[in-house]
Chains A and B, each alone.
Chain A
Amino acid sequence: MFDLDKWQEILATIKKNKLRTFLTGFSVAWGIFMLIILLGSGNGLQNGFEAQFRGAAKNSLWIWTGRTSVAHGGMNPGRPIRFTNSDYEDLKNNFARTEHISGRFNIWWGNQVTFNNEVHSFGIRNVHPDYQKIEALTITGGRYINHLDLKERRKVTVISTLVRDILFKDKAEEAIGKYILVNGIPFKVVGFFEDQSRNENNMRLIYIPITTAQTVFSGGNRLHEISMTIKANTLEEAQQAEKEVRSRLAAVHNFDENDRRALGTWNSFENYMQMQSIFKGIRLFIWIIGIGTIIAGIVGVSNIMIIVVKERTREIGVRKALGATPFSVVSLILFESVIITTFAGYVGLVLGVGLLELLSGIDTQFFTNPTADFRIAVSATLLLIVAGAFAGFVPARKAASIKPIEALRDE
């Protein structure tokens, strides 16, 4: 039902009641604006946290050794515990919950990486092929370490794109196949990786096959750490797997399985669950505030509509005396309210999205890329429009049904 004349009548009314229009519109625009900012900051917070977490698989288990702190099996405390390749083999082949597993052999000295005249210090990680999955590394060129590298103890290395750019500068494309010196020993570059976490420390790294490193840097069969991902769907399963790993290693190395100084473990599943509950909390918080904002907007619109109808009672009376039907009176008031709330809601939407757009450059550890769910914002606007219309409808119908003579009575 499009009636140009009706719209002109409504627009004329709006134009000539600027303050009223502004007040109605402002409460709507403000509500929507605040909602979008809230949703956006909530998402920014969550994005920030998630990016922090993206660096590693969520079901990973990290194990490292130390010295015993309690006497066990007739041995004194203070005895060092050491992993060897056989611990890795045992967990890989005989432990049912292992998904991916890698040992780590650390080099504590040097870390000097050289190409031509570029001499830099980068972290050197000596690992098994599965490590790529545990750290969730993205290979952007070439390949990662493979089993043949390990078997043949090849002197190959996988470097980060950051290391590549530092060492090779503008000749980055030609890096694969080139040799770089690691602590003076030449290694052939076979691939590049990127770490998805935003931590730069995870990018100042190169990876070397663990067997090669053990040979070249005289490590024998020594492992410093074992990293693995476990088959677990719940926190309980993850904790159970962790416990089994501890008791298995405790039996082999003869220490108390509850001795956390002898064997350190870190289970990312627990951390993941904590993160999830933080996200849940943030989301709940945003929803509570968001719903509060919407309710405030609805109350604001309702209030103004009630006042508008009261203020216009006499006008309605005049219109009725001049031949306005109840329908035309109700629709006059409702359409006005709907036009104002729609327009103002749209303005709030645009302003809010615009501000988020300005803020989208922000990229810190805890606040990243704030975006609002557009559907939610649009539904909130629609909700406000409907609420405004409903809030106007009740008093408008009342005003339309009272006798013109009562509306016109001189006070």
Chain B
Amino acid sequence: MISLRNIHKSYEMGKNSLHVLKGIDLNIEKGEMVSIMGSSGSGKSTLLNILGILDNYDEGEYYLDNKPIRMLSETKSALLRNEYIGFVFQSFNLISFKNAMENVALPLYYKNVSRKKRNKIALEYLDRVGLLDWAEHMPNELSGGQKQRVAIARSLIANPKIILADEPTGALDTSTSYEVMNILRNINDEGITVLIVTHENDISRMTKRVIKLKDGLIEADYVPQPLEEIAVSA
């Protein structure tokens, strides 16, 4: 599904160049659930941005579903994002003046699905994350966990092959975090590849593979010890 060969990325910081990724080789198969860990500055967010076609890379090769991803125009990359990737962000990034249903439906707008149809589909996805009753609510009327569930529903609606989640539990308390992780695991069980950037060990232990980054290189790539007792409290 994802294949990275010797990916390099530097940022120009004034006169200095900051070499963030120093040659990443990585293969992720379809249906994997991977967490990317590392301290801040290790390059994990940069890697996620490149995987999500939100950012370019300087050197190397990136194949997404066997398609080379290299020097794409803004328009082309927007279309690829829409087709392949669903995003979940730490700060949810719901559009504040749209209600839950409209937020979920937004990716389908960019797929030219009619309003009626996409709102209907959005309701199905809200039902899947248990928020059907909250469809008409505005984001500021939802709790953090609810917002993240809306965001997950939004990331799923366009039938992506990959879900990229950037610290999806970073703004949530432990029990809500576990709820969100459960939803992500259920998604993964349906065969969708899930990539999670996190710095929390217990979150990474709920995934099936951990990639540890350090100073722009992969330091470790291992299967974590599963977290036996997942405490889901109401």
Task: Point out residues on A near B: beta carbons under 8 Å.
Answer: 5, 8-9, 12-13, 16-17, 314-315, 317-328, 400-401, 403-405, 408, 410
Contact = CB atoms under 8 A, between A and B. Distances in A.
A314 to B, nearest CB: 7
Interface in B106-120: 106-107, 109-112, 114-115
Given A314-B93, A403-B55, A322 B81 contact: yes
A408 B112 CA distance: 24
Contact of B110 (A322, A400, A403): A322
B78 interface: yes
A327 B75 contact: yes
Interface string B57-81: 0000000000000000011001101
A405 B81 CA distance: 13
B107 A326 contact: no
29 contacts: A5-B109, A5-B112, A17-B97, A315-B96, A317-B93, A318-B94, A319-B95, A319-B106, A319-B110, A320-B78, A320-B81, A321-B52, A321-B54, A322-B81, A322-B107, A322-B110, A323-B82, A323-B83, A323-B111, A324-B110, A325-B74, A325-B78, A325-B110, A326-B75, A326-B78, A401-B74, A405-B45, A408-B89, A410-B90
A322 B106 contact: yes
Nearest to A9: B109
Contacts of A328: 110
B166 to A, nearest CB: 9
A8 B95 CA distance: 16
Contacts of B209: none
Contacts of A322: 81-82, 87, 106-107, 110, 154, 158
A323 B79 contact: yes
A376 B88 CA distance: 52
B93 A318 contact: yes
Contacts of A324: 78, 110
4 closest residue pairs by CB, A with B: A323-B82, A16-B97, A323-B110, A325-B78
B97 A13 contact: yes
B174 interface: no
A121 B81 CA distance: 95
Most chain A CB atoms below 10 A, which of B93, B97, B102, B112: B93
Contacts of A410: 90-91
A16 B139 CA distance: 13
Interface in B34-68: 45, 49, 52, 54-55
Contacts of B74: 325-326, 400-401
Chain B, interface residues (CB within 8 Å), range = 20 to 34
Nearest to A315: B95
Contacts of B96: 315
A5 B115 contact: yes
A345 B90 CA distance: 42
Given A321-B87, A408-B89, 15 more contacts: A5-B112, A5-B114, A5-B115, A17-B97, A315-B95, A318-B93, A321-B93, A322-B154, A323-B107, A325-B75, A326-B75, A328-B110, A404-B54, A405-B49, A408-B91
B115 A8 contact: yes
Nearest to A401: B74
Contacts of A314: 93
A206 to B, nearest CB: 77
A23 to B, nearest CB: 16
Nearest to A411: B91
B81 A321 contact: yes
A12 to B, nearest CB: 8
Given A319-B106, A323-B107, A405 B55 contact: yes
A386 B94 CA distance: 32
A8 B105 CA distance: 14
B135 to A, nearest CB: 15
B49 to A, nearest CB: 5
Nearest to B86: A322
Nearest to B99: A16
Contacts of A315: 95-96
Nearest to A314: B93
A324 B110 CA distance: 6
A328 B107 CA distance: 13
Contacts of B90: 410
Nearest to B155: A322
B62 to A, nearest CB: 16
Contacts of A320: 78, 81
Contacts of B75: 325-327
Contact of A318 (B95, B111, B115, B158): B95
Nearest to A15: B97
A8 B116 CA distance: 12
A403 to B, nearest CB: 6
Nearest to B95: A315
Nearest to B54: A405
A317 B112 CA distance: 19
A16 B81 CA distance: 27
B55 to A, nearest CB: 6
Contacts of B114: 5
A322 B54 CA distance: 11
A314 B94 CA distance: 10
B158 A323 contact: yes
A405 B106 CA distance: 18
B54 to A, nearest CB: 5
B17 to A, nearest CB: 18
A179 to B, nearest CB: 85
A404 B111 CA distance: 19
Contact of A323 (B45, B78, B102): B78
Contacts of B97: 13, 16-17
